[in-house]
Amino acid sequence: MWLFLLTEIMFFGGLFTAYLIYRNWYYPAFVAGSHQLSITLGAINTAVLICSSFTMAMGVHAAEMRWRKPLVGWLLATIALGCVFLGIKAIEYHEKWEKHHVPGLNFSVDTFVHQDPNYPEDKPLPLDMAEKTQVYFSLYFAMTGMHALHMVIGVSLLIILVVRAWAGAYTQGHMTTVENFGLYWHFVDIVWIFLFPLLYLISRHQ
């Protein structure tokens, strides 16, 4: 399990490194792109995942204590929180689609070449720099998309754990599976803890 987590750390570490390099190259574009993200939704999702780490930890504790019903309850709570996170992320993605901020043929720089009333201190970007906002959103979707995929996998595995837990599989001395999954879930949560300030907060200067 630890070897798997090491490979995951290297993978996301590569994405973080790429983001920081491009952010250094195209800082004004990244600032403008970051301003298009909702801090409120990002903060809510951060709180949701912190709560899910707590429920997962309680689930592991219930497995260690051989408590079947509490284990099922905590796992179901973790599933619910995971679904809330994914639902909020879907709202954010839909908003980006509506604003034509999804990289590709329909990507629009109109937002960035005109004055943003929400950020009067920001000057409109020159067209060549405005086009670099597509780099920001490419990394945004790559990083948050991969994280969301890990969340989907996690929720799917949790459903399997709940079914097996209800059957008593983890209250008869076979709790290693729950403990290992707990490590995976906490890792995914920690990745978001880094993603939130990196994408939503670092470029803010209001």
Q: Where are the domains positioned within the chain?
A: 2-201
Nearest in space to 82 (alpha carbons), one of 11, 194, 181: 181
pTM of structure: 0.88
- 8 A C-beta contact, residue 164 and residue 130: no
CA-CA distance, 201 to 69, in Å (whole number)? 40
For the domain 2-201, what is the CATH superfamily, name and number?
Cytochrome c oxidase, subunit III, four-helix bundle (1.20.120.80)
> Count of CB atoms within 10 A of residue 78's CB?
27
Residues of the chain with pLDDT under 70: 115-122, 173, 203-206
User: What is the per-residue pLDDT for 206?
Assistant: 44
pLDDT of residue 203: 63
Name residue 2's amino acid.
Answer: W
pLDDT of residue 146: 96
